[in-house]
Amino acid sequence: MPLSTPSLVHDETSMGEWHLLHLSAMNTMAELSAALLARDWAQVDRACRWVYEVLRPHNEAEERELLPLLEELGAEALMDQLIGDHREMWDLTLLLLAANSNGAVAEPGVYQEQARRLMDLVRQHIDTEEHIMLPLLKGKSLYMGDEVNADGYLILEKRLLAPETWSFIVQAPMVARGRKPGQFLMVAPFEKSERIPLTLADGDARKGWIRFVMVEVGATTKAMGKLNQGDKLFAVAGPMGRPTELVDEGTVVLVAGGYGSAAILPAAQALKARGQRVVTVLGGRSRERVLLAEELEAASDELIITTDDGTLGRKGIVTQPLAEILEREPVAEVVAVGPMPMMQAVSESTREKGIFTLVSLNALMVDGTGMCGGCRVSVGGEMKFACFDGPDFDGHKVDFNMLRMRQNWYKEDETAAQDHVCNLGMATHPVTDADMPFIAPVADLDWKNLDLPSLKPAQRMKIPRQVAACQDPAIRIGNFSEVTLALNAEQAQLEAARCLDCKVPKCIEGCPVNINIPAFVKQIEAGNPLEAARILKQSSSLPAVCGRVCPQEKQCEAKCVVGIKGDAVSIGRLERFAADALLAAEPETPPMAAPTGRKVAVVGAGPAGLTVAGELAGKGHDVTVYDALHRPGGVLLYGIPEFRLPNAIVEKEVDTLRRMGVKFVLNTLVGRSMTLAELRAENDAVFMGTGAGLPGMLGIPGEDFKGIYTANEFLTRINLMRADLFPESGTPVTVGKHVVIVGCGNTAMDASRAARRLGPESVSIVYRRTIKESTARKEELEHTEEEGVHFHFLTNPLRCIGNDKGWITHIECAVMELTEPGPDGRRGVRATAETVTLPCDTLVVALGFSVNPLIAQTEDRLKTLKGGVVRVDETTGETTVPGVFAGGDVITGGATVILAMGQGRRAAEAMHKQLMAH
């Protein structure tokens, strides 16, 4: 069985699980009472085992996490009483277990008396905690608040452990709160640096500090090594990954080399606390390379040290003493952390004996949440993500050859970056307003001398749709500035004048958030863009975003009456025009209702989460948004390039939410830092807007070659981490001479156009169907083609071909053909005997995404459907967990921004009604 570390929730509003266990205890005592009356000694034994195996760990967690608050309040006598109760309960339980042999007892009278004493003690103890301790703790929080990290993560201590190897103690309460053995964190020391995975070595949940060990190996870690105590790290996200699976019986051998000492220390401490035998083997090249020996000696029953040169401990390597240990005594589990050759050697040493062996894989990562797929490893022939499925895996199943090959992916880039700055394909001078084209308004009437609001329908129909200016393709492929420009003020007024102001505005029906489209359009026509934006804000928290990326041609514009005989009114362009005008004006806060005193947690800072936050904050609720990344915006930031949606636009929309009082807790992964149950207990309602960020792969031979990305990783490196500015920005991205994108949706268009801007000789899109089946917007398809991207339709990848250095060089594809239409009218595809091989040294897979199952895995009450999407009430958006709502891609799979916002708005309305009803 895996070792679990019990943890209590942190304040008086977080006692849901605590109360549930107390109810279970009272039920068990009722069963014990009935068993004593029936003299059912086997049932009595089962009740005693429950007390020792379930209630005792709970009591230990109370002593760690709750009782210290009594001491702070001056209630030492109550604290001592409760601790005394714990000790007496445990002693009585051990006596009862020892006296019961397979349901038979030697002295029934004494046995019954001791059992009754245990039963009475448990009942009295729970009554004291519920009715005396709990009222005293009301309003008291055990953990340090997350507000201490508002402007960075303070370095409390920095200590040199070995050459280029540092121990950091950092103030990070949200990480400390959820930390367990084997987990890691992602650190971005500077705003423009990459996020690097580091193992959690220690921490204090109550005091809010964590400890990790960092080795200077690349540009980012070398720069981080120059920081000092009192400095602040830009972002510390975690805890990430699954805790180490430790057996709860038998001897465990922990083997570490170099930085691996930090990873095994929490495991050693946890095992020691349970009374298990722990043997630790440490290795290093020399004395100064053996880390944390004193701490590990204190946490181990036996410590063996080896060094290559014999300057400390035994001369040799760690597998030598490991072999001796395996020969001399039974071992239940071996855990190895350190350099890859060492972990592989340890795994081979234990394979023949069949000893359960875990290795910790610190693979390449960008986000650490499972979103990018960059940390994929092969385990037992299956593709796994080290950050999500690991970092610990069965060492007997890991493909170490693949792992070693992928680990040096960016070594050449980082080496070259030390001496050379080169932004491939980027413009030699910044793009200015003078570079941007201008298009004058066009109309078949003297509109400047007419009163636009009084135009008759026939006059309005004479006004053609106004064309937005775009950067010239030859210029824009050298920059990441916005491609499609805003309508100018005259164009916007003239475009707005095309609206017929229908009595039954079908356009509103086509809008997922039900914007009053005629009302805002008419304000633009009258020359009042700010008032138009205020109307937009009544229904949409993110109008400047939606005006740029929503598929209006399939939604509101598809319903436009003007579009029956001509081109529909350009509602999206007008939405952008008005929203941009508001963002450019003096910041203003939307109308706010009086505070309700209700607390709401929003998980995920993407479009659905931001929508809920804005809606509920406006209704007077206290809203806090939690997100795993270091900047709010979700897919709006990491998934959509700046040439389509500038990050500054997202940031301004988020700033509006901050002015409304919305709080953001970033670098916090719900499901790891805290459970959904804890979050629900701390708040009056919770909204899940975690998106669908788990990438899919092709599942073809050769997908483990270097140079192969998921679209999420490729775009995150460029959009969020600004790899296009490497090495000024610390995150690199590989763009070879020939880039191939697989897929034909909007994400594929984004990836291909981003790649085009980084200087390859060719960028190609491979798609197994035809352009008619593409899910990308018409405008995006046109822009992609204009920028020189080649389309290979009816082409499907079969295998990736690489060289002896592990890099992809070509991709072999099947030539497809369309089949006859099926019952739904859609034509299928099938492979022909023909194949084609394309040159390819960078491959980006853009085939859609699935829902990250992390929260569902940590909350049994949360029911999911096929594909991991969360099941909700279709009217309210409430999940199967009372008080927890969901919306966006987490309930639909990958969909549009505006659909996510519409579901968020629906959920917010239902949440508000429920909050006010209670």
Question: In sequence order, what are the residues at sequence separation of 6 or more whose Cβ sits closer than 8 angstroms to the Cβ of residue 327?
Answer: none
Which of 829, 833, 836 is CA-nearest to residue 813?
836
Over the Cα atoms of the chain, what is R_g?
Answer: 31
What sign does the dihedral 341-347-352-353 (CA atoms) show?
positive
Q: Between 447 and 225, whose confidence is greater?
A: 225
Q: What pLDDT, on the 0 to 100 scale, is given for residue 425? A: 41
According to the model, what pLDDT value does residue 195 have? 86
With 0-12 CB in 10 A as exposed, 13-18 as middle and 19+ as buried, what is 746? buried
- Higher pLDDT among residues 708 and 414, named by residue: 708
Cα(201)–Cα(274) distance, integer angstroms? 19
Q: At what angle do helices 108-128 and 41-50 cross, to 10 degrees?
A: 40
Which burial class, exposed, middle or buried, applies to 500 when counting CB atoms under 10 A from its CB (0-12, 13-18, 19+)?
middle
In the numeric block, which tokens belong to residue 104? 């038979």
User: Is the pLDDT at 448 greater than 80, yes or no?
Assistant: no
- Tell me the CA distances in angstroms from 843 to 387, 597, 807, one per residue in order: 22, 51, 11
Domain 599-694+850-917, classified CATH 3.50.50.60, yes or no: yes
HSE-CB of 596 using CA atoms within 13 angstroms: 22
Query: For the CA atoms of 905, 906, 910, 913, what is the dihedral angle to 10 degrees?
Result: 50
| Reduced DSSP (H G I as helix, E B as strand, rest coil) percent helix, strand, coil of the chain, to 5 | 40, 20, 40
Q: Please, are residues 181 and 267 in contact by the beta-carbon 8 Å criterion?
A: yes
Model confidence band, residue 647 (pLDDT cutoffs 50, 70, 90): very high
CA 518-558-448 angle, 5° bins: 45
Question: Which tokens is 632 given?
Answer: 């709010």
Mean pLDDT value across residues 645-668: 93
Place of tokens 């992609």: 784
User: For residue 148, what are its two tokens?
Assistant: 């201490």
Name which of 2, 61, 452 is nearest 182 in CA terms: 2
- Choose the weakest-confidence range: 90-94, 208-212, 429-433, 456-460: 429-433
pLDDT at 410 over 80: no
When pLDDT is cut at 50, 70 and 90, the band that residue 424 belongs to is very low
Residue 423 has pLDDT above 50, yes or no: no
Strands 184-188 and 196-204: antiparallel
Angle at 672 between CA 671 and CA 677, to 5 degrees: 40
And the tokens for 527?
């020359």
Residue in 177, 166, 151 with CA at minimum distance from that of residue 235: 151
Give me the CATH code for the 252-415 domain, please. 3.40.50.80
Report, as an integer, the average pLDDT of 607-621.
95
CB atoms within 10 A of CB 223: 14
- CA distance linking residue 614 with residue 443, whole number of Å: 39
If 0-12 CB within 10 Å is exposed, 13-18 middle and 19+ buried, where does residue 852 land?
A: buried
Place 435 in a pLDDT band, splitting at 50, 70 and 90. low
CA dihedral of residues 618, 619, 625, 630 (deg, nearest 10): 0
What is the predicted pLDDT for the residue at 447? 75
Question: How much is the pLDDT for 11?
Answer: 36
How many other β-carbons are positioned within 10 Å of the β-carbon of residue 72?
10
Asked if the model's pLDDT at residue 494 lies above 90, the reply is: yes
Which residue's structure tokens are 């990305």?
709
Distance CA 259, CA 305 (A): 14
* Lowest-confidence segment of 325-334, 735-744, 856-865, 870-879 by average pLDDT: 856-865
Q: Average pLDDT of 722-746?
A: 88
Element (H, E) at 842: strand 842-845
**Per-residue CA distances from 742 to 551, 612, 635, 836, 849 (Å):** 22, 34, 20, 15, 14
CATH of 697-847, one of 1.10.150.120, 3.40.640.10, 2.60.120.460, 3.50.50.60: 3.50.50.60
Beta bridge partners of 280: 254, 303
Q: Which CATH architecture has domain 439-584?
A: Orthogonal Bundle (1.10)
The string of pLDDT tens digits covering residues 348-380 is: 999 999 999 999 987 566 666 767 777 888 899
- Residue 860 and residue 890 in contact, taking contact as beta carbons nearer than 8 Å: no
CA distances from 893 to 456, 601, 654, 880 (A): 45, 22, 24, 18
Average pLDDT, rounded, for the chain: 88
Q: 615 in helix, strand or coil? A: helix
Task: Assess whether the previous peptide bond of 512 is cis (omega < 30° from 0).
Answer: no
Q: Is pLDDT at 577 greater than 90 in this prediction?
A: yes
**pLDDT at residue 815, as a whole number:** 97
How far is Cα of residue 809 from the mean position of the Cα atoms in its chain? 32
How many whole angstroms separate alpha carbon 62 and alpha carbon 128?
14
- Asked whether 280 and 304 are in contact (CB, 8 A), the reply is yes
Residue 797's beta-bridge partner residues?
Answer: 813
Two tokens at 230?
A: 């009192």
> Residue 801 forms beta bridges with which residues?
810
C-alpha–C-alpha distance, residues 146 and 78, integer Å: 30
- The predicted structure's pLDDT at residue 220: 86
CB atoms within 10 A of CB 674: 25
- The position carrying tokens 């005594």 is 329
CA distance 884 to 670: 14
**Six-digit token string for 864:** 């999911």
Helix (H) or strand (E) holding 119: helix 108-128
Helix (H, G, I), strand (E, B) or coil at 499: coil
pLDDT category at 427 given cuts 50, 70, 90 is very low
3-class DSSP assignment, residue 303:
strand
Arithmetic mean of pLDDT, 268-288: 93
More confident of the two residues 778 and 7: 778
Report residue 550: phi and psi, to 5°. -80, 145
DSSP notation for 697-756: ----TTTTSBTEEEHHHHHIIIIIT-GGGTTTSS------SEEEEE--SHHHHHHHHHHH
DSSP assignment of 224-257: HTT--TT-EESEEEEEESPPP--BSSS-EEEEEE
pLDDT over threshold 50, residue 414: yes
What is the pTM assigned to this prediction?
Answer: 0.82
Lowest mean pLDDT among 297-301, 718-722, 772-776: 718-722
Percent of the chain with pLDDT over 90: 63
Q: Answer yes or no: is pLDDT of 599 > 60.
A: yes
d(CA 808, CA 702): 8
Q: Edge to edge, what strands does the sheet with 184-188 contain?
A: 232-233, 153-162, 165-171, 209-215, 196-204, 184-188, 235-240
Helix (H, G, I), strand (E, B) or coil at 159: strand
The least confident of 197-201, 367-371, 397-401 is 367-371
334-343, 444-453, 623-632, 908-917: range with lowest mean pLDDT = 444-453
The percent of residues in the chain predicted with pLDDT above 70, rounded, is: 93
> Do 16 and 23 meet the contact criterion of CB atoms below 8 Å apart?
no
- Give pLDDT, residue 722: 83
Query: Sign (positive/negative) of CA torsion 569, 574, 576, 577?
Result: positive
Over residues 116-160, the pLDDT tens digits come to 999 999 999 999 988 888 777 765 655 555 565 678 999 999 999
8 A C-beta contact, residue 553 and residue 778:
yes
In this predicted structure, the answer to whether residue 331 has a pLDDT above a threshold of 90 is yes
Helix (H) or strand (E) holding 153: strand 153-162
Dist. CA 37–CA 112, nearest whole Å = 9
CATH 2.40.30.10 assigned to domain 146-240? The reply is yes
